[in-house]
Structure 1
Amino acid sequence: MTDADELAEQVRAGDLRLHELEDHADHDTAAEARRKLLESETDADLGTVGDYAFDAELAEPNIENMVGAAQIPMGVVGPVVVSGGSAEGDYYLPLATTEGALLASVNRGCSVISTAGGADARVTKNGMTRAPVFRVQGIVEAEEVVNWVRDHRDELVEAAEATTNHGKLEDVTTYVVGDSVFLRFVYDTKDAMGMNMATIATGEAASLVEEETPASLVALSGNLCTDKKPAAINAVEGRGRSVTADVRIPRETVENRLHTTPEAIEEANTRKNLVGSAKAGSLGFNAHAANTIAAAFLATGQDAAQVVEGSNAITTVEARDEELYASVSIASLEVGTVGGGTKLPTQTEALDVLGLRGGGDPPGSNADALAEIIAVGALAGELSLLAALASRHLSSAHEELGR
């Protein structure tokens, strides 16, 4: 009987718990033991799940009760020409997805963008947020808290920044609802996505607020952040990086490469992405920006749940005399090139393809560049899908690719 078999039997007998196996064996053996247990109890064959290409110990910060890896096909689009504030040049963008036709569509858009001379992209705002909620007795105490926060910003900065060598507290905004006071802290987290950094820093600042005011902390996250949920505050104020990419495509290129006209694409965008989204009460006024964002997140080790915020995007299209203008503005794109899933081997390789692994020089420039490239990829996807709809080629494209 192997060590993995023995560990599985101990779990089955109740002598060990699933999360304790790494205390008795190396990480790969612990994962194997969990697979054996699951296979014996469910009749599943986990041979493919267990056939992963990295040391399981490397994943310890990212997963508990590991059994293996969920392997998603990864492709690449591009190269696409990007002229950004931090990204400058030709880039291949790795995308991981199970949706057939997605990469083909985005790749078509990338090709059209490059033929037109490339896309411009800029990060227009940067700030990771955490918003604790405090309890007070009523509006009089709430006003006292608001005034204290306004008058003691330097002390809050000192408390928050004492927890990190990299993060900077940029702003604190107060919100009062009855006997609840919310403080929305905004941080520059450089090349990290920064959620953990912001949470730890805000915890220290919240303790200071409790010491100096009548407020009592109820929850370190009061949902005004807002993390991993559709929220108008993120669509308006942004979270992570707010980034816009745009392109001007000659009319001839639109007609020859996208097989439609600027006017037809503009009408499709207006009626679908603007009017249709408004009628639906959507926070995203785009065709499928989340498709490209999700695939890029999976490939490069971002927090996949934050695609929710990434879908807060507005696509605009204008038919001009001899060209088509198109843009996508993503209000809350939460990305990093250090920390979290970016340290996993597959994801570091994807970041290496982009030349953006690790911290940038200056700090924050790599994450800015990643945001700009993803935005251009999303713009490519928007253009391609809108053109397919305008030319009525969407269903035939999926049929041709066997999806």
Structure 2
Amino acid sequence: MTDPEDLVERVREGELRLHELEDHADHDTAAEARRLFLERETATELEAIGDYAFPAEAAEPNIENMIGAAQVPMGVVGPVPVDGGAATGDHYLPLATTEGALLASVNRGLGVIRSAGGADARVTKNGMTRAPVFRVAGVAEAAETVEWVNENTEALAEAAESTTSHGELIDVEPYVVGDSVYLRFAYDTKDAMGMNMATIATGEACEIVERETPADLVALSGNLCSDKKPAAINAVEGRGRSVTADAVIPGELVEDRLHTTPEAIAEANTRKNLTGSAKAGSLGFNAHAANVVAAAFLATGQDEAQVVEAANAITTMDAREREDGTTDLYASVSLASLEVGTVGGGTKLPTQSEALEVLGLRGGGDPPGSNADALAEIIAVGALAGELSLLGALSSRHLASAHEDLGR
């Protein structure tokens, strides 16, 4: 077995670089050597970072220059009562976060939803996108390129799908800006989040576009995708899964459990999430949907940077009068671009794999894509619970006292 001290010395002498250590030792020894080197270079103790529970080799596809692990507290909420297109019954949802009171709030919302008979959820659109940008001489060549693309979608699909046994090309949407042509490819990536799949497939299709049209590829991603950035196109067209969850909460439940009224929650939502967000120029018209999404992403191994797109959510709350004169609360949250998967990427890490196992969604579904659809639906119901609880706290003026009671 290689001595980590020997590796540290070879790095200090310039014989080895930090990223080369796995070529000379097993993954855990390499990580230990990096920690020792870093401790001495920065006069820092890395005992907690080095105390991780999985073999470092398991993380090889997910990290470079590994020194250990960042440990985020993980809790669970639920059961989440879901009547979905892919998810049915009760599910416990693991959430990883450092924000105190978040899980308590989500659990409160779920308790109300459960008492009301549960929530409905549906994935309404599915498509992971990649949008390369091409250079042309001018608008005439741009039009020629667009015409060829529109007439040859099948050829592009054949090329793109030759790179994957799972992905399917759904659509190619052209956009022209002066002498730039953008082609927004959309794929059904089944149970994978699919960003890598879409990138590789699109690269293959771009070769045909260059060969058959005047267009020259400038960049495989032209930011019209749009990945990991706030973008109106994702709020409108969607990216990954577009999913909506809703529930009807009887007025007496709102009063007994949230200590407010349907009318008060509806007004708070309109003035805060709709009017306030519009005045701010926000792309997200919700209270804190990204809170639940981020915690679910960390727990289940999703790409945490894509929380920015998941914040493209609209929350609606309406007071509905019944025939007997009483009022119920209709509550919904619609996430336009929730990018999730149950295979590939961080989902294979041991901790995250266990969290998906808790949900009963680890690995590929039958039929393909059903597990990722179910995960999207469950996360949407969790986000709905968080919206309901926070708006209830705001409209009852209990938000500050709730944080005080929980010692936050």
Per the normalisation by structure 2, the TM-score is 0.98
Partner residue of 2:158? Answer: 158
Partner residue of 2:349? Answer: 344
In the aligned structure 2, how far is the partner of 1:173 from the partner of 1:120?
31
Is 1:377 the counterpart of 2:406? The answer is no
> What is the identity, as a one-letter code, of the residue corresponding to 1:239?
R
Change (3 A) 1:143 1:2: closer
> Which residue of 385, 397, 402 corresponds with 1:397?
402
In the aligned structure 1, how far is the partner of 2:42 from the partner of 2:104?
38
Partner residue of 1:171? Answer: 171
Partner residue of 1:363? Answer: 368
> What is the identity, as a one-letter code, of the residue corresponding to 1:50?
G
> What is the identity, as a one-letter code, of the residue corresponding to 1:357?
R
Partner residue of 1:387? Answer: 392
Partner residue of 1:309? Answer: 309
> What is the identity, as a one-letter code, of the residue corresponding to 2:363?
G
Is 1:20 the counterpart of 2:20? The answer is yes
Alignment of 1:212-251 (within 5 A): 212-251=212-251
In the aligned structure 2, how far is the partner of 1:117 from the partner of 1:294?
26
TM superposition shift of 1:306: 0.1
**CA-to-aligned-CA distance 1:203-224 (integer Å, 9 cap, x gap):** 0000110011110000000000
> What is the identity, as a one-letter code, of the residue corresponding to 1:26?
D
TM superposition shift of 1:71: 0.2
Runs of 5+ unmatched residues, structure 2: 322-326
> What is the identity, as a one-letter code, of the residue corresponding to 1:43?
A
> Aligned with 1:95: secondary structure?
strand
TM superposition shift of 1:13: 1.2
In the aligned structure 2, how far is the partner of 1:197 from the partner of 1:291?
27
**CA-to-aligned-CA distance 1:287-322 (integer Å, 9 cap, x gap):** 000000000000000000000000000000001123
Is 1:90 the counterpart of 2:95? The answer is no
> What is the identity, as a one-letter code, of the residue corresponding to 1:211?
R
In the aligned structure 2, how far is the partner of 1:263 from the partner of 1:328?
18
What percent of counterpart residues are identical?
80
> What is the identity, as a one-letter code, of the residue corresponding to 2:116?
A
TM superposition shift of 1:254: 0.4
CA RMSD of superposed structures (Å): 0.8
Which region of structure 1 is more displaced relative to structure 2, 4-13 or 218-227?
A: 4-13
> What is the identity, as a one-letter code, of the residue corresponding to 2:384?
L
> What is the identity, as a one-letter code, of the residue corresponding to 1:158?
E
> Aligned with 2:282: secondary structure?
coil
TM superposition shift of 1:396: 0.6
In the aligned structure 2, how far is the partner of 1:281 from the partner of 1:35?
44
TM superposition shift of 1:2: 7.0
Partner residue of 1:266? Answer: 266
Contact kept, 8 Å, 2:113 with 2:119, in 1: the verdict is: yes
Is 1:78 the counterpart of 2:78? The answer is yes
**CA-to-aligned-CA distance 1:218-243 (integer Å, 9 cap, x gap):** 00000000000000000000000000
TM superposition shift of 1:386: 0.2
In the aligned structure 2, how far is the partner of 1:10 from the partner of 1:264?
67
Is 1:59 the counterpart of 2:64? The answer is no
> Aligned with 2:217: secondary structure?
strand
> Aligned with 2:10: secondary structure?
helix
How many residues are aligned here?
A: 403
TM superposition shift of 1:12: 1.2
> What is the identity, as a one-letter code, of the residue corresponding to 1:381?
G
TM superposition shift of 1:3: 1.0
Alignment of 1:286-325 (within 5 A): 286-321=286-321, 322-325=327-330
> Aligned with 1:320: secondary structure?
strand
> What is the identity, as a one-letter code, of the residue corresponding to 1:292?
V
> Aligned with 1:318: secondary structure?
strand
In the aligned structure 1, how far is the partner of 2:2 from the partner of 2:345?
33
In the aligned structure 2, how far is the partner of 1:131 from the partner of 1:311?
21
Contact kept, 8 Å, 2:113 with 2:249, in 1: the verdict is: yes
Per the normalisation by structure 1, the TM-score is 0.99
In the aligned structure 2, how far is the partner of 1:187 from the partner of 1:116?
37
> What is the identity, as a one-letter code, of the residue corresponding to 1:68?
G
> What is the identity, as a one-letter code, of the residue corresponding to 1:377?
G
TM superposition shift of 1:5: 1.0
> What is the identity, as a one-letter code, of the residue corresponding to 1:4?
P
> What is the identity, as a one-letter code, of the residue corresponding to 1:372?
E
Partner residue of 2:324? Answer: none
> What is the identity, as a one-letter code, of the residue corresponding to 1:203?
G
